[in-house]
Amino acid sequence: MLTEKYPDEVNKILAKYPEDRKRSAIMPLLYLALRDNDHITNDVIRDIAAITGSSETQVEGVVGFYTLYHDEKGGKHYIQICTDLPCALRGADQFAEQAKDYLGCGFEETTADGKITLEHVMCLAACDKAPMFQLQNGKGIFYHENQDIESFKALVDELRSEADA
Ligand code: FES
């Protein structure tokens, strides 16, 4: 339970919102839950629903809407390539195909070594710097802009060579 694991953080987050607006704390609480979970479990959903006085469906709705949250186990790292129209006009689709080939998996799939899940996402607000993607993992979220397949391969090799924690 988040309140047992991180009581100070939970209280700090809740203190930012009026008593009758606790639902606004759903997103930061979900992010807190990802600190030591690679995905949002049903227990976490129940926990956050109870903390914020929301229904589980409301919490699930947030999890389902945002690419930041995952409700199924994925890789240690998520690589999320923007394939929205402005990026597509700058070669994102071709880049994405090359990325899939190099990883040996498709979108919404995880590499055989379990390290990387590849996803395609909508605009990440870096349209003029495509091809671009964000890397998401336990350390945070990192933008990689003006990419080509060589820079992508270098990053993937680095991630693959990391020792498992
Ligand atoms: S369309 Fe890809 S970052 Fe905006």
pLDDT in tens, 79-114: 999 999 999 999 999 999 999 999 999 999 999 999
The pLDDT confidence band at residue 162, using thresholds 50, 70 and 90, is: confident
Tell me, in angstroms, the distance from the centre of ligand 1 to residue 10's CA. 33
Q: Tell me: the pLDDT tens digits for 71-85?
A: 888 999 999 999 999
Q: Tell me: the pLDDT tens digits for 133-153?
A: 999 987 888 999 999 999 999
Ligand 1 atom at minimal distance to the Cα of residue 129: 3
The residue with tokens 């909508």 is 122
Q: DSSP H helical segments within 26-138, as ranges?
A: 26-33, 42-52, 56-65, 85-88, 92-103
The radius of gyration of the chain's CA atoms, rounded to the nearest angstrom, is: 17
Specify the pLDDT at position 37.
78
Cα gap 117→114, rounded to integer Å: 8
Which structural domains are found in the chain, ordered by start?
A: 2-65 (1.10.10.1590), 77-161 (3.40.30.10)
Q: Are 132 and 145 in contact (CB under 8 A)?
A: yes
- The pTM assigned to this predicted structure is 0.82
Closest CA to 105 of 116, 95, 93, 94: 116
Ligand 1 atom at minimal distance to the Cα of residue 83: 2
C-beta of 86 in contact with ligand 1 (< 6 A): yes
Residue nearest to atom 1 of ligand 1 (CA): 123
